[in-house]
Chain A
Amino acid sequence: MNAFRVSTLLFLIVLAVATPALADLRVVTTTTDLAELVRAIGGDRVRVEAICQGHQDPHHVQARPSYMVTVSRADLVVAVGLELEVGWLPALLQGARNPRVNPGNLGYLESADAIEPIEVPAGAIDRSQGDLHPLGNPHYWLDPENAKAAAMLIAARMAELDPDSAAYYQENLQRFVDRIDRAMNRWQEAMAPYAGTRIVSYHRTFNYFFDQFGLVGSGYVEDRPGIPPSPAHLARLIRMMTQQDIPVIFHESFYDRSTSDMVSSRTNARVLVLPTSVGGAEAATGYEELIDVIVDSFTQAMGER
């Protein structure tokens, strides 16, 4: 056989082997939590990658060539939305030049469409108030009910893009929803004794978690979102925390902890460094585990008081 025939044969073999892989739905998500949802729904018929890692700040991600390549090959991009990623995702999508995943098309999904946002600001906003997330608080995924809603939305979109696997996705979705429902029972049980506890956090990431589990968000170490706190603000915060005997500060693991530590040293509050996304702590290997880490850290800290 001459060289041409050999190479053609090899090409056909490669194509035959590659074809099943080509059938996988390729999904890129902005956060690891969304990647977990996609994985839970898609099983082995989906290939998913998250751009922002669990220990990174999702508000700002440094662009890299590999991200552009990954997005260019994707069938579906799932973002959180509510302008969480507005600082880096639009530019990345533009650079990747994949028309399938441009906003407005089937291949682009903002999962926050599935939920009811809290803290939607009324009236005029300007930048002097900080990074107020003008469409509402985007950190919705720490409320498991929201995670379920997002999963349903994602499953519907994946079924639209890959109708042959729609039934498979639906099965997996149901299994995921059932798992979360069962986990919710034990989480509610664990958190019930502490309903009404006032908590201070560094940024606004935990507010949906507070609402779901009966905690009361009572202030932020960060004065204005995204801006390092001023001494005057910290003085007021410390005074308030001492008056109301706030027991813990929820501190997102990707922020520098020196300010929270300083506030803790002047009050009775303990700093809890917590993951906000899957992979943000060693034990937070999946979505259920992520909520477990937050619930267990909190209940343990309160138990030791």
Chain B
Amino acid sequence: MKKLLVLTLVIAALAVAGAAWAGPVQGVTDTEIKIGQWGPQTGPAALWGAVARGTGVYFDLLNAEGGINGRKIKYFLRDDGYNPNRTKAIAKELWEQEKIWGFACGVGTSPGMAVMPYIIKNNIPWVGMATGSPHWTQPLKKTIFGVYPLYPDEAQILTSYAIDTLGKKKIAFFYQNDDYGKGGLDGCLRELKKRGMKLAADVPVEVGETDLASHVMKLKKAGADAVIMWVYPKHAAIMLGTAAKLGYRPQWMACSTLSDVALMFKITKGLWKGMIFGNFAELPDSTSKLMLKYHRAQQKYAPKERWGVFFYAGFGFVEPMVEGIKRAGKDLSVDNFVKAMETLKDFQGIMGPITYSAERRQGIKQVFLAKCEPDIMMVKGKKITYGKGKRLSDWLKLD
């Protein structure tokens, strides 16, 4: 009898010890969580690298507030120069050498595609990639959570706004001839088909092209009264300049990747005025409590940064990840984190409402529209005209 008691006690003790031990989770201690991100700080896409630096400032802010559940975030930012083989090296290095817990954001579809198989294979949490490609979440991958609204959805919303609210009859689509541009085109076609309408013209542009006169002529000839753009900032600027020269003035509309309105206004020398564009995050002059708080953090931790949408998007893209970590509590095993993420329902930070579930990994399905209206500000006694977004709608959703 005594033997049996001892045996039971030993087993019980082992069970308790086992539960308490519960397998250490890589990258997490009682006081620290290691999170990594890649992003182009040099090279052709360096402008978007602001996302990764924004995330860094957000983590500084969280750490100053005491961290998440008592754990401070140790953040690793690596420059991949938008080159997928460096992204792959970074992912391996951070996971195998630095032993991080998970990845945040990451700019660029092809850098992300290069590491996705690795992330799936090693069961690593990855939240908020800064691109609207459907590859991340369709089909569903257990540990990968998208935030950015999908390009087709956004194009559909823009198209229906042009028809219903602006009363436009002939819609044309100007897009970059790759996955990004074609994603937008698909959405536009879907919406038109639903209404039994036809696209007035679809005009693709290649990444390397610089002369867009023939593209403008095509749009003009088709008589399009609204043109939706799904291109890089450079092409948007050349397009507007060429169209102005050739006397073509439709209602221009643009994807949320072109929503850095102050920047676009500056590089188009004011032609951005009147542009209607999609937005995945609050406008820079938003007075919501969170935006003001984040803006103060930027002024404190990174005073040299410009308060543009891609910088604070670095805050917004990781908000759901932080919320998930908070809800997961002390046990940050991947399974527990995924379970916690799946409880997010209409979670709202500075972006659209985010919902995840066991069947859904695409966080945001809504965008709001804004219009560029110039405003004047005083800088060192001089009047400067700058591009400002005026909100046209609430968060819009596909029915």
**A and B assemble together:** no
